[in-house]
Structure 1
Amino acid sequence: MLSGWLRPKGAFTRLAVDVTFLETRRSCVSPVLPDGFSLTRVTGSEALPLYRELYAAVGRDYCWWMRRSMPDTDLAAILHDPAVHFMVLHDVSGHPAGFYELDLRQGGDANLAYFGLLSEVMGRGLGRLVLDHAVARAFDAGSWRLRVNTCTLDHPHALPNYRRAGFSVRDVASEIWDVPNRYVPEKLKRL
């Protein structure tokens, strides 16, 4: 598998990644979250700033850059689409602890566009519960399939967690990304 830093190229760093495309065609029961935790759909004017905050915080170490470089108008159009569900996990204090973006715009062919937790809540089994929630929500909305992808720069548990949740690998593609330097994680800059 390819992964990691190749070389700086002006304002960009060229990265080689393997992207794994997965899908599931089976639903699950929407899970019960631990006491004090909640998942809520965020819409309206608070969606864009909260999304940007969570996307940057969750993806900072994993080279999530595509939405960070997207203009506000483009990202707002996605988030304000009624078929896109921006779901935020709140911890016992009411603070955002993670999120997922479920895209139902393709009819029954749903896409889990982004999914992740803040590092301070990892390791408590919440990831599996939130993932199960996303799966149940997609199929409750009438989807026949839910797709997701991950890459070699994501958290090392991402692919095993998707597989444990019933996703099957459909394809793996080696890609080269020209990532703006400001979005390249420090751990890759040190390689």
Structure 2
Amino acid sequence: MTVDGTSRATLIARITHLEMNSIPPVRVPIPHGPRLAVMRAREVPLHFYRYLYEQVGKPHHWLARRNLSDDELGAILHADHTDLHILYVDGAPAGFFELNHSQAPRDAEIVYFGIVPDFQGRGLARFLLSEAIFAAWSREPERVVISTNTLDSPRALQLYQRAGFSPYAFSEEAVQPWL
């Protein structure tokens, strides 16, 4: 039961784990129209990361970073093996991706990837995913991995597969929904 007396049903997320074993031959070009910038955020302020994480992740019930203390979150985000890149559209934060290189040289992982709802449907995801892929390959891993689940955007799996990722494993996870 929640504080207001209602119950929260646990959601079951079916997870698809995907891999890419070679770098794509070309990058997706920057879309025409608004001014775009993808910037690596070094020593990102935790409140700003939490804002991005909630904006992108809340509709999909992301949970791994939701209840971490500042010390726990800072240790992850400010580690040498973590790279955070933020997409800006006309100066406003519109999405982000986070890379984990802790398994190098074997794997580079795209841990988080997403577009803020206000900027979805503008053709930005394909471009930002391409940027994430090339940033992940920059440390020359053997493969790049990413996961998606049935609570993510229904187009995420198709987007990843069109970019060159292939499923290699499946799993399930119980998720407490955002209120």
**TM-score bracket for this pair, using the shorter chain length:** 0.7 to 0.9
SS at match of 2:87: strand
Which letter does structure 2 place at the counterpart of 1:59? G
> Is the contact between residue 97 and residue 132 of structure 2 (CA under 8 Å) also seen in structure 1?
yes
Correspondence for 1:20: 16
- Alpha-carbon shift at residue 42 of structure 1 (Å): 0.7
Match for residue 76 of structure 2 among 75, 78, 92: 78
Correspondence for 1:100: 97
Correspondence for 1:3: none
Partner Cα separation in structure 2 for residue 47 and residue 23 of structure 1: 30
SS at match of 1:128: helix
> Is the contact between residue 47 and residue 79 of structure 1 (CA under 8 Å) also seen in structure 2?
no
Partner Cα separation in structure 2 for residue 138 and residue 66 of structure 1: 21
> Is the contact between residue 28 and residue 126 of structure 2 (CA under 8 Å) also seen in structure 1?
no
**Runs of 4 or more above 6 Å deviation:** none
Q: Is 1:67 matched up with 2:62? A: no
1:108-123 aligned at under 5 Å gives the runs 108=105, 109-123=107-121
In structure 1, the gaps of 5 or more residues are 1-6, 187-191
Count of matched residue positions in the alignment of Structure 1 and Structure 2? 172
In proportion to residue count, which structure has more helix?
Answer: 1
- Alpha-carbon shift at residue 33 of structure 1 (Å): 2.2
> Is the contact between residue 22 and residue 169 of structure 1 (CA under 8 Å) also seen in structure 2?
yes
- Alpha-carbon shift at residue 52 of structure 1 (Å): 0.6
Partner Cα separation in structure 2 for residue 98 and residue 143 of structure 1: 24
> Is the contact between residue 86 and residue 94 of structure 2 (CA under 8 Å) also seen in structure 1?
yes
Deviations 1:72-120 (A, max 9, x none): 111111111122111000011x110000001111112111000000112
SS at match of 1:113: strand
Correspondence for 1:140: 138
In structure 2, the gaps of 5 or more residues are none
Correspondence for 1:47: 45
> Is the contact between residue 30 and residue 137 of structure 1 (CA under 8 Å) also seen in structure 2?
no
Partner Cα separation in structure 2 for residue 130 and residue 66 of structure 1: 22
- Alpha-carbon shift at residue 139 of structure 1 (Å): 1.2
Percent same amino acid among aligned pairs?
35
Partner Cα separation in structure 1 for residue 42 and residue 126 of structure 2: 24
Correspondence for 1:157: 155
- Alpha-carbon shift at residue 66 of structure 1 (Å): 1.7
Match for residue 57 of structure 1 among 55, 58, 79: 55
SS at match of 1:53: helix
TM-score by length of 2: 0.88
TM-score by length of 1: 0.82
Is the alpha carbon distance of 1:143 and 1:71 closer, same or farther for their aligned partners in structure 2, counting shifts above 3 Å?
Answer: same
- Alpha-carbon shift at residue 12 of structure 1 (Å): 6.1
- Alpha-carbon shift at residue 13 of structure 1 (Å): 4.0
